Amino acid sequence: MTNHHRKTIAAIGSGLLGAMLCYRAPAADAGVAHPAAPAVDPAVLARIREAAMNSDWAFRHLTDLADGIGARLSGSPQLVSAVIQVAELMRSLGAQVALQPVKVPHWVRGEEQAELVNFPGGPAGATQRLQLTALGGSSATPAKGLTARVIVVNDFDELKARSQEVRGNIVLFESRFDQQLADNGYASQAYQQAGMYRFNGPSAAAALGAAAALVRSIGGANFRLPHTGLTRWKDGQAPIPAAALATEDADLITRLAASGPVTMKLILTPQTLPDADSNNVIADWPGRERPAEYVVVSGHLDSWDLATGATDDGVGVIGAAAVIEVMRQLNLHPRRTIRFVGWTNEENGGRGNQAYFDSVSKTIDTQAAAIESDDGAGRSLGVGAAVTNDSLTMLQPVLRALAPIGATVLSHHDDELGSDIAPLQEAGVPGFAPLVDSRHYFDYHHTAADTLDKVDPLSFKTQVATMAVLAYYLAELPEPLPRFKISP
């Protein structure tokens, strides 16, 4: 998945820089006055950046995970293998590894087929095959399928206005992904706008008696690929069959439905099995002075089942692991412990982050900061930070250290920077993410095309460099950054 943050970007330094409100770190020779003795040695930060940029460790181990194991949905044997593989990898670096037990949902995809069997202008007996994929949490149709009329709605207001037509029919939510937002650096916002129909549309349709619900796929590249993802049901609500249509097929149905009734035959046979055993992988790189204070650096181990999850979230979890590799290579032990977490079950339950939060909630002050990478494989543009205003000044040395690779933007947020670190952030832990060029992330997100070739090795290195410099800096600061609570 991705984080769901709504950006509120603030500027620091001399003033607001127009609408983007970003801060660009000054060049080292810009004549800006710096404190006499930096809290963290800039030369060390530069060595960390260079070590990350000169290493192919992360890409090699991403290849092992994505190609060598493949798709890693919760409950699958592949996710079990990924836990073992990443735990071994962290042990091989000399980190202290613990496997945190987590019970995870176990939903498995079945057959998925759909065709239009009656549509305006269609010759008798003609059908049109559609491209679709079940949403996580979907229930099954009868094995032979169900046949019903499709009711196309643009939004929840229209669903309400046409609620009398819904019972026994298939509702299609025609909610569009705004690629222009994504092109301008607001991919998360575009995802959130369209995503609320995937998350909540099927439940709303079920409440009105719909036989099934479809959503337009959330993505910006139209190669007739359906994008899966989680849909949510209300407590006690019986799920209905729910799927995402390729955008082209959503358009087709919308055009046809404008001229008359459209009838679809739909077969979906997913199953929900009993919860399965899984683990968060926790690997500590002990701090030299305050080993019981932690800077979490993380990504999620699980993926959807349609592809190998190279970008969602192979780059995040292996990129976070690579932070420890950089520390090992340079033999650096900052003041605090850097704690790698490979989260389980980010995609369809969030049980991993809940288990971790439960384990630290009584000692939450030991969690000094939390970083999550889950925004795809694009180049790092800088750092996203959910911190107090005063902390922004404190973070300037990180941006200065990253200036040679162009990762100079500090983006200030007041909400979650990753769904797995959100509970920590809600409890006051300062939250961070690499700020990633994600304009093309949703081309492949949750599709059969999320494969290793989508990862540019150089861009991936910039993400590792960003996380490594940031994690070291946060772990080395004499005092941790002030607490900053986001609202749930």
Site string for Zn ion, 332-371 (x = CB under 5 A): ----------------------------------------
Tell me the window of 21-29, 251-259, 312-320, 433-441 that interacts with Zn ion (CB under 5 A): 312-320
CB atoms within 10 A of CB 187: 27
The partner residues of 342 in beta bridges, in order of sequence, read: 281, 299
- Choose the stretch contacting Zn ion; rule: CB under 5 A; options: 31-39, 105-113, 240-248, 309-317: 309-317
Annotated catalytic residue 346? yes
Residues 22-51 that bind Zn ion (CB under 5 A): none
**Which CB, 269 or 419, lies closer to Zn ion?**
419
Q: Taking a C-beta distance cutoff of 8 angstroms, is the pair 188, 196 a contact?
A: no
Integer Cα distance of 70 and 148 in angstroms: 36
Stretch that binds Zn ion, among 75-83, 204-212, 306-314, 455-463 (CB under 5 A): 306-314
Q: Does 1 bind Zn ion (CB under 5 A)?
A: yes
Q: Tell me if 293 contacts Zn ion by CB under 5 A.
A: no
Pull the structure tokens for residue 330: 């340079």
Nearer to Zn ion (CB atom), residue 2 or residue 141: 2
* Stretch of 1-9, 258-266, 356-364, 477-485 lying at the interface with Zn ion (CB under 5 A): 1-9
Closest contact distance (angstroms) between CB of 302 and Zn ion is 8
Taking the C-alpha atoms of residue 428 and residue 177, their distance in angstroms, rounded to an integer, is 32
Residue pair 294/339 in contact by the 8 Å Cβ criterion: yes
Active-site residue (options: 346, 347, 372, 416): 346
Distance CA 291, CA 288 (A): 6
x-or-dash pattern for Zn ion, window 90-129, by CB under 5 A? ----------------------------------------
Tell me: does residue 312 bind Zn ion (CB under 5 A).
yes
Residues 168 and 210: their CA atoms lie apart, in Å, by 5
- Between CA 440 and CA 278 the distance in angstroms is 31
**Residue 286 Cβ vs Zn ion, minimum distance, rounded to whole Å:** 28
Nearest one of 423, 451, 203 to 309, comparing CA atoms = 451
Q: Which of 393, 435, 398 has the alpha carbon at shortest distance from 418?
A: 435
Name which position in 174, 284, 293, 313 contacts Zn ion (CB under 5 A): 313
Which H, E and C letters describe 399-445, residue by residue? HHHHHHHCCCEEEEECCCCCCCCHHHHHCCCCEEEEEECCCCHHHHC
Q: What is the smallest separation between the CB atom of 183 and Zn ion, expressed in angstroms?
A: 21
Polymer length of the chain? 488
Report the nearest approach of Zn ion to the CB of residue 450 (Å): 10
- Tokens at residue 257, please? 């439905």
Q: Indicate whether 325 belongs to the interface with Zn ion (CB under 5 A).
A: no
Judged by CB under 5 A, which stretch of 33-41, 151-159, 185-193, 304-312 contacts Zn ion? Answer: 304-312
Amino acid, res. 470: L
- Member of 374, 420, 443, 450 binding Zn ion (CB under 5 A): 374
CB of residue 300 vs Zn ion: minimum separation in angstroms?
6
DSSP annotation of 211 = S
Report the residue number, 174 or 312, with the smaller CB distance to Zn ion.
312
For residue 137, the 8-state DSSP code is T
CB of 319 to Zn ion, least distance (A): 12
DSSP 355-385: HHHHHHGGGGGGEEEEEE--S-SSPEEEEEE
Residues 433, 436, 438, 440, Cα dihedral to 10°: -140
At its nearest, how many Å lie between Zn ion and the CB of residue 457? Answer: 20
Site string for Zn ion, 191-220 (x = CB under 5 A): ------------------------------
Q: How far is the CB of 313 from Zn ion (least distance, A)?
A: 4
Q: Between residues 6 and 224, which has the closer beta carbon with respect to Zn ion?
A: 6
Count of Cβ atoms closer than 10 Å to residue 371 Cβ: 30
Which of the residues are catalytic? 346
Binding site for Zn ion (CB under 5 A): 1, 312-313, 374
